[in-house]
Structure 1
Amino acid sequence: MTIRDFFAPFYIHPIVFIFIFISFVTGTFIQLFIILVIVMVHEMGHYIAAKIYNWRINRVMLWIFGGVMETEEHGNRPLYEDLIVTIAGPFQHIFIYIFGLFMSTFGFLPEIIVEQLMFFNTVILLFNLLPIWPLDGGKLLFYILAFYMPFRKAHHWTIILSLCLCLGVMIVQLFILPFTLATFLIFAFLIMENRLEWKRRTYVFMRFLMKRSEGNSEVRSMRPIVVHHTQSLQEVLYLLQRDKKHSIYVTFPNRERLIVDEAECLRGFFYEKKYKKTIGDIAMGSL
């Protein structure tokens, strides 16, 4: 792979050009350059880790104080892979700290540049750990919720909590803290990203189910699901969790209980077009 091929998925978000213009006007281009270098190193951590696991990567979008790596593996890979790929970004900040100390010790860079490097490195690291999607902290929040909740519910709550936090920060900045255009634009961008993710929520969930129906999903534990026979097949699929294999226990009025394998539910939903059936119908049909 050539250097050009390696960096082919990297793109710069249009909002960055607004900040570049502002930096030239305000004389802060050096500070912006330091920020962009830190962001690039951060995203390369995600990118290299994803490449190691052979993830399908669409593009890596760079913007101020962070970036977004768009892949086709959202929720379909083992949880430990998601965690490693996510943590690989913040982990790069350790190397940046080491680089800054090295430059300072041997005087290869002016002290003022090193101080700015260390400051922005800390700010970007802490910012990316905020529990806001699609920041690293937001992804970690999603993984934690997905460990305890069904995939669909965890995804929905991650977006809702992210939007609430973004709006809260913007309200505080407008009415309590001094207003800064940079902060306002960053959190406005995050709100747009979460709004887009909310519009894509059905597609994300269907992609999760499709991957699961192929039988290639990671299974770490078994967890039974108890449902009433009147619940629809789609409602039952809403209860599926990541990295867990489910046996569906269907209860009937006479206290009879039938067991349906989740693979049968997925097959009925995608291939036999039984998405309008109840889980009771599926259970009785399997007898």
Structure 2
Amino acid sequence: MIFTIVFIHELGHAVTARFFKWTIYKIELLPFGGVAEVEDTSNKPFHEELIVILAGPVQHLWMMVLSYYCIALPFWSTYDHQLFIWHNMMILLFNVLPILPLDGGRLLQLLFMYRFPYAQAITVMRNVSLFFLLVLCFIASVIYLSLHLWMILIFLLIIHYLEWKQRYYTFMKFILGKQSSSIFTKQANVHVSNLITVKEAVKLCKRGSSLTFNYFDPTVGKHVQLHEEIIRVAYLDRKRIHHRICDLTPAQF
């Protein structure tokens, strides 16, 4: 019963992702849950990822309604219905916790990415997720002792460690994705110091936005505009990563 619920939940993610023509690598069903592995979403439109995330939890609603109407059938008893509802509710409520890679964590991370630069959003969400995960570990140790819960928590702790270890690679994928993607929802301006380095400036890049950096250059006595593409190219050139943005000019590229 649990595997069926988890499979339909993950299938909701996968079918919706397929609708948006995302690449789906695999769906894993584990003893304590499931994972739908899709292509990198760091430069996907916000509305697409929002719908894909919600497509999983929504499946529980129609499954519970269907279970109610199946009570009248000979193969589905009241006990089956109550057990099915219990499993659905537990999986749904656990899944909406603000912990990565659960759907609740992904939703909160998407909100952070909408409001803040990508690098800041990832860092803040990692800390928030780890806080709630440690709270769950405390509950599992003191209040509610459960081997099944500890299996899930250990799995989530390993995921957090691997995500932290690959944080530089994750950010590079975001930057490279912006290089090859023309999907921007808006143009935006950001005012910075002329002394800010390329490494610091690139961390201001936002998902779904194409930034124009504005700074005052005292050497020429006027304000200068620099498109983020120049910053990204300089960042990918490891020799220029510590250069100040005032040292970059469009003519250099």
Alignment TM-score, normalising by the size of structure 1: 0.81
Counterpart residue type for residue 209 of structure 2 = K
8 Å CA contact retained: 1:138, 1:162: yes
Give the match for residue 45 of structure 2.
78
1: CA distance between counterparts of 2:28 and 2:125?
A: 21
Q: Residue 121 in 1 paired to residue 85 in 2? A: no
8 Å CA contact retained: 1:156, 1:201: no
What is the root-mean-square deviation in Å for CA atoms of aligned residues? 2.1
Give the match for residue 182 of structure 1.
148
Q: Residue 276 in 1 paired to residue 234 in 2? A: no
Give the match for residue 177 of structure 2.
211
Deviations 1:226-256 (CA, angstroms, capped at 9, x unpaired): 1212221121111111111211112335763
Residue 273 and residue 210 in structure 1: after superposition, are their counterparts in 2 closer, same or farther (change >3 A)? farther
Count of residues in Structure 1 that have an aligned counterpart in Structure 2: 252
Counterpart residue type for residue 243 of structure 2 = K
Give the match for residue 168 of structure 1.
135
2: CA distance between counterparts of 1:128 and 1:64?
A: 15
Q: Aligned to 1:229, which of 174, 194, 201?
A: 194
Deviation at 1:70, TM superposition (A): 2.1
Residue 65 and residue 121 in structure 1: after superposition, are their counterparts in 2 closer, same or farther (change >3 A)? farther
Q: Aligned to 2:232, which of 250, 260, 266?
A: 266
Counterpart residue type for residue 178 of structure 1 = Y
- What SS does the aligned partner of 2:119 have? helix
Deviation at 1:103, TM superposition (A): 1.1
Deviations 1:5-32 (CA, angstroms, capped at 9, x unpaired): xxxxxxxxxxxxxxxxxxxxxxxxxxxx
Unaligned runs of 5+ in 2: none
2: CA distance between counterparts of 1:215 and 1:46?
A: 23
Alignment TM-score, normalising by the size of structure 2: 0.92
8 Å CA contact retained: 2:202, 2:235: no
Deviation at 1:276, TM superposition (A): 3.3
Give the match for residue 197 of structure 1.
163
What fraction of aligned residue pairs are identical, expressed as a percent? 29
2: CA distance between counterparts of 1:68 and 1:250?
A: 44
- What SS does the aligned partner of 1:140 have? helix
Deviation at 1:143, TM superposition (A): 0.4
Give the match for residue 105 of structure 1.
72
8 Å CA contact retained: 2:43, 2:208: no
Matches within 5 A, 1:19-168: 34-168=1-135
Counterpart residue type for residue 191 of structure 1 = L
Deviation at 1:196, TM superposition (A): 1.0
Deviation at 1:37, TM superposition (A): 0.8
- What SS does the aligned partner of 2:83 have? helix
2: CA distance between counterparts of 1:121 and 1:285?
A: 59
8 Å CA contact retained: 2:12, 2:59: yes
Counterpart residue type for residue 219 of structure 1 = F
Of 96-105 and 77-86, the range deviating more from structure 2? 96-105
Deviation at 1:173, TM superposition (A): 2.6
